[in-house]
Amino acid sequence: MVTTALPVIEERFNLAVTDQQHAHLIRLYCPGEHRGAIFMMHGLMQDAQCFYEAASRTGLACVLARAGYDVYLGELRGRRLEGRILKRQGFTLDQAINNDMKRLVTAMQKRAAGLPQIWIGQGLGSLLQVCFLARNPTALSPLAGMVHFSPFRRLIVESRRKHWWFAGLYAGLLKRVSRLLGYVPGQLLGQGYSNESLPLLKGLLAWQAGEWCAEDGFSYAQAVADIDWPPALYFASLYPSWRVSEADARAFMFDLGDHNGRLVKLGQSAGNQKNYKSDRLCLDQDAEGDYYPLMLQWIEQQLAQAQIQAGVANDSTLSQASND
């Protein structure tokens, strides 16, 4: 078990994406040598708080930092803006992927240079990471693996309850209220830690209802199917919810084509301590003795395998040089 006695140091970096807007990169680490770098990306109507609680230094991000990893949490622009400002400074999915994600990944890789990486996404965060890598496949080279918590691209309606909640609340009421206000009131509706950009929500709804394409015609569906993805671990909550289900996570995994992916169901019926809500998978302290050990072991295995492969590649290069 990871000790909670180690102090977690926090650093914050503001990354300009426009003249007035900034994405944010938060670094959490403990003193000493790091085993690898972790890049974490939040979900819809969320911010870095979905991965850790700053005051108590708890949550998955802190567990990873104490386990010896150099942890980076990305935040899209607009996370702490008042609604009236976010209304004027809305941004699209394409801008989040091509501008915010690019700045975040570049800043993270500059600071984590030389370390193997594990990327972790929560909900929309997994989708943003996958889309960025589809357009920037060279960024895959340092990746040893990916972990997805409640990922989704399209929502699979497998029950009347989910259909009612999705059609009535998510695509219905939330969309209408957001249009009226000019932004998505995530905080007011109790749907997350942050308000959200209305153009981003519209883009996401379009992807869920139609083709997975960018505004410039780039086909994410085709691109992700052609990529040789690193091993991936998918966590899906069995807690009854309209937001994200096991079926949505499985569909997301299948969207990425043939790769080494493992889906882990979380809930009492699957042998866990309790039924975890999707938005608490990276915060619930019971997870530290439940499914975090499985994930930490999996990360260690991927990093060890990446080291072996790097050694084989180096030996091959040296052999080729001596033959020449």
The pLDDT > 90 percentage for the chain reads 75
pLDDT at 145 > cutoff 80: yes
Q: What is the band of 99 on the pLDDT scale with cuts at 50, 70, 90?
A: very high
pLDDT at 31 > cutoff 70: yes
pLDDT per residue as tens digits for the range 171-204: 667 778 889 999 999 888 888 899 999 999 999 9
Per-residue model confidence (pLDDT) at position 189: 81
Per-residue model confidence (pLDDT) at position 310: 77
Q: Are strands 232-237 and 261-266 parallel, antiparallel or unpaired?
A: parallel
Averaged pLDDT, 141-157: 90
- Report the chain's mean pLDDT, rounded to a whole number: 90
Averaged pLDDT, 290-305: 97
pLDDT per residue as tens digits for the range 238-285: 987 656 678 889 999 999 999 999 999 999 999 999 999 998 999 999
Distance separating alpha carbons of residues 226 and 222, to the nearest angstrom: 6
Are 295 and 147 in contact by the 8 Å Cβ rule? The answer is: yes
Q: What is the band of 320 on the pLDDT scale with cuts at 50, 70, 90?
A: low
Averaged pLDDT, 107-119: 96
Averaged pLDDT, 296-308: 95
Domain 9-323 has CATH 3.30.1490.20: no
pLDDT per residue as tens digits for the range 200-240: 999 998 998 889 999 999 999 999 999 999 999 999 999 87
Averaged pLDDT, 84-110: 97
Angle among Cα 61, 64, 66 to the nearest 5 degrees reads 110
Per-residue model confidence (pLDDT) at position 160: 64
Angle among Cα 82, 86, 91 to the nearest 5 degrees reads 155
pLDDT per residue as tens digits for the range 265-276: 999 999 999 999
pLDDT at 149 > cutoff 70: yes
pLDDT at 314 > cutoff 80: no
262 CB neighbour count, 10 Å cutoff:
12
Averaged pLDDT, 35-53: 97
Per-residue model confidence (pLDDT) at position 122: 97
Residue 45: name the closest of 216, 200, 181, 206 by CA: 200
Per-residue model confidence (pLDDT) at position 191: 83
Averaged pLDDT, 118-130: 97
82 CB neighbour count, 10 Å cutoff:
9
Q: Are strands 9-16 and 22-29 parallel, antiparallel or unpaired?
A: antiparallel
Q: What is the pTM of this model?
A: 0.92
